[in-house]
Chain A
């Protein structure tokens, strides 16, 4: 898969995952690792980039074992970006399906 394309998709999925609430880096990593074939080494840099772009922000919370750690949340800008990426994805998916004739036509 094209690296740039995959990057955009990863942004979309990560923002979508974070829509549901606070998550640690590990939570995001597990979620992406289990549901998508991504390299684990890209997850932390990805979160860092999204935070630098103000699409997500972090809070420090007391963890299950007492250790305070970062949890990421979606910012308002992140929510807007998610909507935009989602729309782009839906349009793209639709267009590809139209060209290919849809799964049911095969």
Chain B
């Protein structure tokens, strides 16, 4: 059995045992790292995996120390899409707030993360949704797209603070303070130049120095690929900022960032030949179509229908157990 098959089997068994998703992800990551390290140190991949034992056996041994979802947790997670849908239609039909009413759908991952993730990791994961919600609300109602896009810096700052390394934590404090100062400068003085952007430039550099931005050099993620993905992400950010500052268009140009996960999935599927489910693409594609139809055809009241693409794709293309 090679690494891919072993990991796939272990993942499947752990999922069937209804352990919490975050615990499963952690175990899977740990086994991937363990096997990679063994291979790097000269072990034979197949022999090493054989010695690790059958995935069923591992899952059984892990049983005592794996947090399981309770029935109540499962019910809360299962009901969250319906609650979100009801809220969305209420906001849409009664208040014409299809946008940013769609934000209520973030309740689905927020509920799952709140239940399944423990400790500081939970806040790091939730920061994505909190930043997006604050950005959309402040942008839509107060037209503060700029400088509120900087709120997304909460995500790396909490990522830094989550580290056990003092240096990373210091970088986290810097990122948070720089973000607040940057926002205040723009709100209070609205300077014409770009000098205040200097505050933010050290952040990606800090990410690389601290190792929080992974410039990994190994067989699975060649340095060139990672450098390329980092450079393309930074390029997208620069394009976004340039369009925003030059033409005062901050929304929905942020959709360009969704290119990153789509390209990553395409790369994994067609270059790395990994199995990627079609349904993995649809959330990103749905969001893009939803906003384009909403913004440019004024059709937020029906563009939400595009989200049906996700379950439809899952039904049509996913293998049945």
Contact = CB atoms under 8 A, between A and B. Distances in A.
Q: Which of B34, B40, B165, B221 has the most CB of A within 10 A?
A: B34
Contacts of B216: 65-68
Interface in B188-219: 211, 214-218
Interface stretch (B58-66, B175-183, B229-237): B58-66
A88 interface: no
Contacts, number: 71
Interface in B164-189: 164-165
Contacts of B38: 26
| Interface band, chain B | 20 to 34
Contacts of A64: 40
Interface residues of A, number: 26
Interface in B28-81: 30-31, 33-34, 36-38, 40-41, 51-53, 57-58, 61-62, 64-65
B163 interface: yes
A25 B30 contact: yes
A69 B57 contact: no
Nearest to A46: B61
Contacts of A39: 53
A61 B53 CA distance: 27
Interface in A26-84: 26, 29, 39-42, 44-45, 48-49, 52, 57, 59-70
- Interface majority SS on A: helix, strand, loop or mixed? mixed
A66 B218 contact: yes
A62 B207 CA distance: 13
A40 B53 contact: yes
Contacts of B57: 41
B30 A44 contact: yes
B61 A68 contact: no
A65 B30 CA distance: 16
B164 A52 contact: no
B118 to A, nearest CB: 11
Nearest to A69: B33
20 contacts: A24-B33, A24-B37, A25-B34, A26-B34, A26-B37, A26-B38, A41-B57, A44-B58, A45-B58, A45-B65, A48-B27, A48-B62, A49-B64, A49-B65, A60-B163, A64-B40, A65-B218, A66-B215, A66-B223, A68-B214
Interface of B: 27, 30-31, 33-34, 36-38, 40-41, 51-53, 57-58, 61-62, 64-65, 163-165, 211, 214-218, 221, 223
